[in-house]
């Protein structure tokens, strides 16, 4: 059976891999089976996604003659830790999976990150594939090979670079995605326009109503353009050695401070990133790089996507600074931020005036303070 799909390639030499995007891909063996080299597959999912889609994926794999086992993790960022990572290793060892096994991540960013990290560690490295089921994971975390778990002192501080063999994005799954999760994914879509693709930013402004209505053709275009941007960045700087890939972290230093400070799972990742991107825009304005109109443009687009645009009132300036000090981009104790020289042009800098940074933090992006309730503030 052949199902219409669009394919984007992540160009990494002999480790290049395709991203297949389309409706109904869970029914298309041509998307997945050619990329599984052994006969053993472990499906890693969570207790929200597994009841919806695990049976369909398992049936596809078993019809291809593969031996399939499964493990189901609890759903939530708060479970992205060593304890729950070990559930994956337990399943692999109990099923006597060999070095030729493949791990299949069926879920959102937490499942993908943990599955990839487990694949990097099990018998010093086995194959894995990504089948992302949230918008955020489809446009961001499933692509590029960053895997890992959280630590109480910092988000994603323990992990490995581990590229998948294929990413299969079935857009049909977005029909069951809760509104809050859907908006959280749009934050990462908007990010690509802000950091490197100004025409895409304008396209998002013109099509946000259709995106919020989950129009299939508009969604497919947004996902494809996001994946193209991510693939180009990863190909240019796979291991984040020359600051190209670091640009993908616009809003993340602020956002990770929110996630860590508020407790993992209180704010969704995309919600924290959205607020963080507006804080980055605010600081860029204070540095003289953006106009007030530019900042307003960012704020309005985030609001149209039903995303929060103010920081949580529970976090004081010193709380932010303490959590921001634990960031993978920092070098020799210097805080490094991704800011905007212009809309569509991000930069990494350690030269932001600390007094201006404090102004941004104190102002909550210049918009007052609020807490997230149901995904918007």
The catalytic site residues sit at: 124, 146, 188, 230, 240, 245, 249, 252, 256, 269
DSSP string of 33-96, one letter each residue: GGG--SSEEEEEEETTTHHHHHHHHHHHHHHTT-EEEEEEEPSSGGG-SHHHHHHHHHHHHHTT
What is the CB neighbour count within 10 angstroms for residue 373?
A: 8
What is the CB neighbour count within 10 angstroms for residue 9?
A: 13
Torsion of CA 76, 82, 85, 91, to 10 degrees: -130
Phi/psi-derived region of residue 352, left when phi > 0, alpha when psi is between -120 and 50, beta in every other case: beta
Nearest to 59 by CA among 124, 3, 106: 106
Torsion of CA 147, 149, 153, 154, to 10 degrees: 30
d(CA 291, CA 244): 24
DSSP string of 315-350, one letter each residue: --HHHHHHHHTS-TT-BTTB--EEEEEETTEEEEES
Strands of the chain, DSSP E: 6-10, 17-22, 40-46, 67-73, 102-107, 127-132, 146-151, 154-161, 167-170, 337-342, 345-349
What is the CB neighbour count within 10 angstroms for residue 114?
A: 28
Q: In a 3-state reduction of DSSP, which class is residue 150?
A: strand
Contact call for residues 192 and 200 (beta carbons, < 8 A): yes
d(CA 346, CA 343): 8
């Amino acid at each position: 059976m052949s199902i219409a799909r669009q394919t984007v390639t992540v160009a990494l030499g002999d480790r290049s891999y395709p991203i297949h995007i389309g409706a109904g891909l869970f029914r298309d063996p041509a998307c997945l089976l050619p990329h599984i080299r052994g006969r053993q597959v472990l499906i890693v999912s969570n207790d929200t996604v597994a009841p919806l889609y695990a049976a369909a994926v398992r049936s596809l794999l078993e019809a291809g003659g593969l031996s399939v086992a499964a493990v189901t993790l609890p759903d939530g960022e708060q479970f992205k830790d060593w304890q729950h990572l070990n559930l994956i290793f337990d399943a692999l060892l109990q099923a006597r999976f060999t070095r030729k096994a493949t791990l299949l991540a069926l879920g959102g960013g937490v499942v993908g990150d943990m599955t990839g990290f487990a694949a990097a560690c099990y018998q010093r490295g086995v194959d894995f594939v990504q089948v992302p089921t949230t918008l955020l994971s489809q446009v961001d975390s499933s692509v590029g090979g960053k895997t890992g778990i959280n630590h109480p002192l910092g988000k994603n501080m323990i992990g490995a670079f581990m590229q998948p063999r294929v990413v299969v994005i079935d857009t049909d799954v977005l029909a069951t995605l809760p509104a809050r999760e859907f908006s959280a994914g749009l934050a990462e879509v908007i990010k690509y326009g802000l950091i490197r693709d100004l025409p895409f930013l304008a396209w998002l402004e013109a099509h946000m109503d259709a995106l919020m209505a989950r129009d299939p053709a508009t969604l497919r275009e947004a996902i494809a353009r996001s994946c193209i941007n991510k693939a180009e960045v990863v190909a240019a700087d796979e291991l984040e050695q020359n600051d190209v890939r670091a640009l993908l972290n616009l809003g993340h230093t602020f956002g990770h401070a929110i996630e860590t400070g508020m407790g993992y799972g209180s704010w969704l990742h995309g919600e924290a990133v959205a607020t963080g991107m507006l804080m980055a825009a605010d600081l860029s304005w204070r540095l003289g790089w953006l106009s007030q109109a530019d900042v307003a443009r960012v704020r309005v687009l985030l609001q149209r996507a039903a995303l929060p645009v103010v920081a949580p009132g529970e976090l004081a300036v010193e709380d932010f600074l303490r959590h921001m000090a634990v960031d993978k981009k920092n070098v020799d104790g210097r805080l490094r931020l991704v800011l905007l020289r212009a809309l569509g042009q991000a930069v990494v800098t350690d030269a932001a005036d600390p007094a201006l940074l404090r102004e941004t933090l104190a102002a909550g992006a210049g918009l007052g303070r609020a807490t997230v309730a149901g995904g918007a503030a």
